Amino acid sequence: MQAYVTLVRRELGSSFLSWTGYVVVGAVVFLLGMCFVNLLAALNNTDTEQPLLEMFYSTYYFWLILLLATPVITMRSFALEKSSGTFETLMTTPVSDKQVVFAKFTGALIFYTLMWLPLAACIFIVRRFSNDPSALDPGAMLSTALGILLLGALYVSLGCFASSLTRNQIIAAMLSFVLGISLFLMSFLSYAFAGDNSILARIFAHVSLIEHMRDFARGVVDTRAVVFYVSLTALFLFLTHRAIESRRWKS
């Protein structure tokens, strides 16, 4: 436990000791700001029945942030340690492989959560200055936060896995970007099969990230979606653990 906490602190510290952390936060603030301004401009012109947060999800800004930021956050986790050789000093301390994997994952996930904090500022501004309090329902906001967290956990675990496969950060980032965007694009397959009642259509409906997010933004916490995210996250963490452990396999 002590080693785990020490490692998580180190992970978080290193995010803020290097430029990457600030660049990511800066980019996210910029994109969120753009999104906020665009949405406000649109709302000023036309009425809408949609909840505010759902509108946020349907903009491409949200997905852009998710798909671009997570590979950058996670690319360093294992690849950097491997290329600089510190992986060897880390793995010869009395720390288990599991602890290392979980610590890297937790550190990245905490950073990911911090990265979304500017969104809270946007919400605060809307609440403070709009005269319609129903625009932002607390329940829906909580489920939205849960959605962001679950989706983030999945993408961060995927990024950790990509990073554990290589010693090159660029390859790690590209790999997790490709895997992540493929996962995201599966959502559109469900639209392609819409109205169809075949097995494929039902399978793709279950893996549609966009549909899941719409539910979360509306305040619907669908257990099927929660199970989907938690189990996929667990799968990628398991694969990461295997990849780290593989050096100790006897040939």
Partner 1 sequence: MIEVVNLTKRYAGHTAVTGLTFSVQRGELVGLLGPNGAGKTTIMRILSCFMPATSGSARVAGFDVFTEADEVRRRIGYMPENNPLHKDMRVRDYLKFRARLKGLSRTRSRERTDIVMQQCALTDVSKRMIGQLSKGYQQRVGLADALVHDPELIILDEPTIGLDPNQIRTVRQLIKDLGGNHTLLISTHILPEVEMTCNRVLIIHEGRILADDSPKNLQKVMSDGGQIIAEIAAPADELRACWELVPEIEHYDVAPSDGDYFRCSLTPRAGADLRAQIFSIVCERNWKLRELTHSRHSLEDIFVRVTRADREEEA
The binding site for partner 1 (CB under 8 A) comprises 2-3, 6-7, 10, 13-14, 17-18, 84-96, 247-251
Least distance from partner 1 to the Cβ atom of residue 160, Å: 19
Closest CB to partner 1 among residues 2, 134: 2
Closest CB to partner 1 among residues 85, 139: 85
Least distance from partner 1 to the Cβ atom of residue 1, Å: 11
Closest CB to partner 1 among residues 163, 208: 163
Closest CB to partner 1 among residues 129, 249: 249
Closest CB to partner 1 among residues 90, 226: 90
Least distance from partner 1 to the Cβ atom of residue 177, Å: 25
Least distance from partner 1 to the Cβ atom of residue 196, Å: 48
Closest CB to partner 1 among residues 88, 222: 88
Q: Is 10 exposed, middle or buried (0-12, 13-18, 19+ CB in 10 A)?
A: middle
Give yes or no for a contact between 35 and 61, defined as CB atoms under 8 angstroms apart.
yes
Least distance from partner 1 to the Cβ atom of residue 84, Å: 5
Least distance from partner 1 to the Cβ atom of residue 88, Å: 5
